[in-house]
Structure 1
Amino acid sequence: MLDEREAGTRDFVLIDVREEVEWEIVQIPGAILIPKGQFLDGSALANLPTDKQIVLHCKVGGRSAEALAVVHGAGFTDAIHVGGGINAWVAQIEPDKPSY
């Protein structure tokens, strides 16, 4: 997915919904941090792009699924979340990165 974005064949914004302390441990390249709480209180919604697909991720998928429900409820129907989260990313793509 990231390689498609880099090649220009897919356009999306990758949003990490974990907390900042988790973000500091490990990140997916190109992701931006918007903690789940900002989705739940609605403050994140004004900052979401309307011209790109929104892809959410967290540690294993639970929090990003919660944030996705909020995003869909706000009308962003093309949004998705990454099941397995950063743990799956580290295991499958970058096993040299830290996991927790």
Structure 2
Amino acid sequence: MGTQLQSFNASSFEENLDLRGLPLNKMCAEDNMPSPQEANHDKEEEASLFSQEFYLSMGLGFVVGFWAFVGPLLFNRTWRQAYYRFMNTVTDKIHVMVEVYVVKYLTIRD
């Protein structure tokens, strides 16, 4: 698209049958397709919509999951005590396992 060729009228190109595009009535197949900038813009818009939906659902899932786990612990004393007892037992077992492995490693090394 330049001003030099646009200054000619369609009759200047009559004998050239393979020419297409403006100012002629024959259009190129590429003229019907969106430009790369338009296609890129559409992809960016789809990606931004996906990310917005993703983050919205992720935030909602976090809130629901958090309150499904923490809510009963806050409002039910027996569940809270059972949970703390369980966590205390697990940490004690992990502590004992680490101590046993450290002692084994140090005695094997000597």
Q: Same fold (TM over 0.5)?
A: no
Structure possessing the higher radius of gyration over alpha carbons: 2
For normalisation by structure 2, the TM-score amounts to 0.18
| Structure having greater relative contact order (Cα 8 Å, sep ≥ 6) | 1
For normalisation by structure 1, the TM-score amounts to 0.20
The structure whose residues are more often strand, as a share, is 1
